[in-house]
Structure 1
């Protein structure tokens, strides 16, 4: 067997490449690890993959992940796709969706002010090959926010656009293809600022000082929008601690739910009260419209000192329009009594389970409908760390067919015919089996020799094979095979290299000698 050594130089200018070597075949990837404290039982949890976009928390607790980006995980913690390099800047609202009948990925790409929670950028749509096929932007000169990108009927999208009047928030519906504004609503035209949870005489740095256009008084802070089948909108105003149903025909407020000044359109049962919420969604309603259900993420906190409850909760609320009352249909309290001062979302799954992303608290949970915790994990951090966050998180089905070829590395030694082969395919969801071959060049003819196969094991699969010691040049190739035994892709051929262990940080600038090819 001929083992080749190659020059290896790790550039000190690219610390993300000096990875933690989770994967031999992709040492350039350093995804966050899920710290799973309640393991998923496949018989109880909903089928699907987990979509998050972890990023470092805020000082003084901030650290990691080394590569903040959108990620797809299995609920056993195995990585499916790292979006590093695919989506730049701060990412949010990462999940599958449907556009023009095709299942796609969508995500916000831009910048975010940690102090005020203001985001500027645009929304991307990726196909099943993880190629960007559309950047959704308005024709207007204003940048859209990352708070919302709700695709409606596969054709249009609800977005939020921050305006300064000295400060206002506008919610637009855009045509995805053209960027044309289909509907526009401005909070200042319909909602009185004097009833904000943060009136002008009680400003703090978390909602704007009002001294500049960037630091304007954010009395409303729109952070989610949904649309029902009647064409009306559900608007969440975090700094108003209230939800608003807005007429899609006139823009007028149909009703207000919540608020801290007694101006709610409903009597809200004490067990159903919420504050500083995120991610309000229409769920369903009775045929006569008298009973309506909504979901939301109840932060119950705006800062370490501004709280209405010690911990955050996922919520399903029942609105009785005949009686004018609201009660809690279901409440999903945070495990470990997590308090998320910012961010978060609640997703009702097809099997009636509920998936909750705890925002600033850096965790995700799947509940049974009755509140039993079926799965719980922290995003690359310990319980209560608040050091890694994700604006929203989802559990949804997805089929990925990466355009890039599988990555393979083969490690051997002069002392043995054993070769350790490691293979991965970033974003692939269909491979169930890997086949491995040696390709030997005999004159002008390449001879293919089967070495073995292995069932897929998570993101990276490892197999140890025996090779011939004939001294002929050969290269290793891996083939990805699906459950129907169809070959999906083939890796590029690689030579067997010496089985040196990954470099430590102290060794990362050293170079190994090149063995001259014979």
Structure 2
């Protein structure tokens, strides 16, 4: 447990009153702050509230976050909880792209982000899976780090292999080359308090450090710990009067970030000494300190309780760093607002100069957690942690965008932004349902007939968890699982889940995803439409409703059964034209013969036209009656009801 001074503790209580009140007034039984999906009923993803100040200058990419409701691991319980914490990807409109919340049964995940450092050159995803509530001896009880490919499949799991009690949640930094990674570490040991001027006392102390891990074997290649290198009195959190503690011990350093430069030396950020350390990769000694009680640099800026320190560049005389200046912790604050910083160190003259500052847009403090990410093109992405708050800034510090979870009950330890193309191996999820309604009738006497012949509508929902290239959904129906599918319509994809509504009862339904070029990306499975909604529509006298699926083959254009008859008038004209020399001598006779011929031809033509009309009517009746069915099939209320695909 931490041991603040009494005044700090009172300050903490005062500062937390508004937020505590806000948290207590939130009704946790509500879910209007969450997204729900027909195709993924177990998922409740978090909604965003977004403000753009200048969208034209925002960098492209997706948001990578890992919401959690509270930091500690949950004890096991059998009560159902929807999948809502863990790794998530959103687009810049706050629309869900991928949720991995069900991957580990709603278990907390931290530091979720893409990495391009794996040796195969492809983009991967990495995160930390939190330890179990109780260490039951299972391989992942202490937690582990994960690396996924762009199909969202696990390529590597890195467990704890040394004496550490758990995988620390603060850091999983895959280094360039993709062979090793850095992780934060914590060890709790008994230690004398002589460094605090109390040699007769001892306490449990939580020392901090980092390890470099071989990703292929999980072997620890380098292990650094603060116990014999950073004294207790360097802490600005544990005070000379802090009482001894058991359990988790005195948290005097609190490591939260580690990085490595091209020279093989390590960068270490310690929150409770407000110091960033450069540590030798040869023997582990501290080369220099930036900030804190014992800084080696003359600085033209201040910072405290920082997070996410990273190398920007390094050479023999200068080093550039980036980090989040929290300027506060749970109990105190040293400044009025948190900010991201990029600073340049002259390691010859031992001076430190502020290059850029990115102030939290709402003018508030991030009392814990958070990160700074430099984007391609010069923009900076800031994760402020509480309520998933993050912002994007222009190189000059101007805030271009800010967003936060709609719900105050969730946070994200870090937030990132990256370009990414997802190719999920799982097929699209599809659910279809049929509904019946009474057609509007001009006369009340038609109501009974309308109920006996209701209008049927098929509603199809489709989503593809993690697919980033879908532009259009094509929907198909077929007579049975092995029949030829026929296109029944399409919709443009605008959100995680798309909805297609079409007249009729389409029984066997599937969907095809197309990219913006019209190329096929993949197909859903074939599902049968759920008719439960339609069966609720029954006749007034309680008679059972008969549902007859439409036959998709009726959508195909067919050739007319009777060809259209076209009569050429030229022969008729020729038949009644006579030689001028016979016009006077045989006119009456020829006129009579021509008249008879015209009447006969007219009767034939009229007969053929009537026959064609009758045939057309017969064909039209036949197609409406049987809808070109190769076979006819019915589904009654007693038929088994299909379940939507999930």
Task: Normalising by structure 1, report the TM-score.
Answer: 0.82
1:47 pairs, out of 34, 37, 60, with 60
Matched position secondary structure for 1:390: strand
CA contact (8 A) 2:388 2:404 kept: yes
- Report whether the alignment pairs 1:299 with 2:351: no
1:422 pairs, out of 431, 454, 461, with 461
Give the C-alpha shift of residue 48 in structure 1. Answer: 1.2
CA contact (8 A) 2:382 2:392 kept: yes
2:410 pairs, out of 379, 388, 391, with 388
Q: 1:334 to 1:18 in 2, by over 3 A?
A: closer
Q: 1:21 to 1:34 in 2, by over 3 A?
A: closer
Q: 1:38 to 1:95 in 2, by over 3 A?
A: same
Paired residue total: 459
| More relative contact order, 1 or 2 (CA 8 Å, 6+ apart) | 1
CA contact (8 A) 2:33 2:46 kept: no
Aligned to 2:419: 397
Aligned to 2:46: 32
Offset from partner CA, 1:213-257 (integer Å, 9 cap, x none): x32112111110000111111100101000000111121111100
Aligned to 2:317: 290
1:94 pairs, out of 95, 103, 112, with 112
Give the C-alpha shift of residue 357 in structure 1. Answer: 0.6
Task: Normalising by structure 2, report the TM-score.
Answer: 0.67
Aligned partners of 2:208, 2:266: CA distance in 1, in Å?
Answer: 15
Give the C-alpha shift of residue 369 in structure 1. Answer: 0.9
Structure 1, unaligned runs of 5 or more: 1-14, 114-118, 204-208, 502-513
Aligned to 2:487: 450
Matched position secondary structure for 2:259: strand
Aligned partners of 1:388, 1:446: CA distance in 2, in Å?
Answer: 48
Alignment of 1:144-293 (within 5 A): 144-152=167-175, 153-166=177-190, 167-203=206-242, 210-212=244-246, 214-259=247-292, 261=293, 263-269=294-300, 272-285=301-314, 289-293=316-320
Aligned partners of 1:39, 1:196: CA distance in 2, in Å?
Answer: 40
| Bigger Rg, which one | 2
Matched position secondary structure for 2:240: helix
Matched position secondary structure for 1:106: strand
Offset from partner CA, 1:285-314 (integer Å, 9 cap, x none): 4x6x333211101111112x4110122111
Give the C-alpha shift of residue 354 in structure 1. Answer: 0.5
Q: 1:445 to 1:157 in 2, by over 3 A?
A: closer
Q: CA RMSD in A?
A: 2.8
Structure 2, unaligned runs of 5 or more: 1-28, 73-80, 134-140, 191-205, 438-454, 535-635, 641-646
CA contact (8 A) 1:300 1:308 kept: yes
More helix as a share of residues: 2
Offset from partner CA, 1:119-147 (integer Å, 9 cap, x none): 95211112222222221124213232121
Aligned partners of 1:295, 1:499: CA distance in 2, in Å?
Answer: 58
Q: 1:52 to 1:229 in 2, by over 3 A?
A: same
